[in-house]
Amino acid sequence: MEHSSSSSPRASGPLPTAVLGATGLVGQRLVSLIEAHPWFELTALAASPASSGRAYGEAVRWCLTESLPARVAALEVEAVSPELGARVVFSALDAEVAGPIERGLAAAGAWVFSNAASHRMHPAVPLLLGEVNADHLALVERQDFGPGAIVSNPNCTTAGLVLALAPLAEVAGLRRVQLVTLQARSGAGQAGGGGLRLSDNLLPHIAGEEEKIECETARILGDCDGERVRPHALALSATCNRVAVPDGHTLCVSVELERPASAAELIEAWDGFSGEPQALGLPTAPRHPTRYDAADDAPQPALHAELDGGMRTTVGRLRPCAVLDWKFTALTHNTLRGAAGGALLGAELAVARGLVPVD
């Protein structure tokens, strides 16, 4: 992913930054993105006890197409602890262990940007999707974790869905949403993706996924008064499937709107959608967070997942729905927009708003 040439907001240079769960797939994405970033300097990598004490290049099974930078390969993997010496921490830990570790880091003064589900529904933790609900960052003032803070990323599927829905909510409102997903193998991580029976197959169940999407979407689209979030009242039903696609979650969506809108109005809403990250020119902000592709066979993971550095949601196949009002297909890169890139954009937004101490 290319970054803008924006200089660091810190006079003495980039902010010291750590990645937790650095050997996993999302951790690797974070490592790759941060190493090329103008605002953050990768100073600590942390992983499981099996990896700690080893050089990162030896501990990791690097699976990205981008080469592992030599400087990063030489860094020693540390045990996960609050003593990482980083102002900004990106967490790619499993939800089973992330909660107390992230709270401990916040208590030690770190700003933690988490891909884990542990704090997504915490009333004082922003569930942040930069273009949609930047105002939810005000919730950090209510946190009592310590001098630091925790900001959560949504589920990877939720991120793409909300980016497709938010422009429609702005122009016509949302009443009901029916969703069927075709989710990439990489969404199960390195271990999960390799162990699934996906050759000539489809798995019609992803544990906990449907519930996460339904709850998180309402929270992100909800109104925040600075004290709490009032979830959006839309009714949402999700059905999730794992498919044999490397990267890119495909979403088949039907919507009922609150007010009538034409196809042209909806397409204009997608193509014109932007938010605070674009207004601020943040390094990881895509030029077009959503974009409509009028081709009959768009969007496709192989053709559209990497657009705008993997940070764009591409929408296509808009047509009338016989049950609700409209139906369409959307596509998002699950480990970039839906995970590492989304967390990085959230951190940029918090820094740009002056929330993260930089000196």
- Catalytic, 156? Answer yes
Residues 6+ apart with CB under 8 A from 79: 46, 49, 52
The DSSP bridge partners found for residue 240 are 181
CA distance 134 to 353: 10
CA distance 183 to 170: 27
CA distance 313 to 270: 9
- The backbone region for 208, taken as left when phi is positive above 0, alpha when psi lies in -120 to 50, beta otherwise, is left
CA distance 96 to 159: 21
How does DSSP assign 213-241, residue by residue? Answer: HHHHHHHHTSEE-SS-EE----EEEEEEE
User: Can you tell me whether residue 309 is helix, strand or coil?
Assistant: helix
Q: Which of 37, 136, 249, 333 is catalytic?
A: 249
Which tokens sit at 241? 């499937």
Number of H helices, E strands in the chain: 13, 14
Which tokens sit at 215? 């709850």
Q: Are the CB atoms for 340 and 310 separated by under 8 Å? A: no
Which tokens sit at 219? 């929270």
Q: Which of 37, 119, 136, 156 is catalytic?
A: 156
Which tokens sit at 151? 């900001």
CA distance 304 to 134: 26
Q: Are the CB atoms for 173 and 232 separated by under 8 Å? A: no
Cα 29 to the center of its chain, rounded Å: 12
Question: Which residues participate in catalysis according to the annotation?
Answer: 156, 249
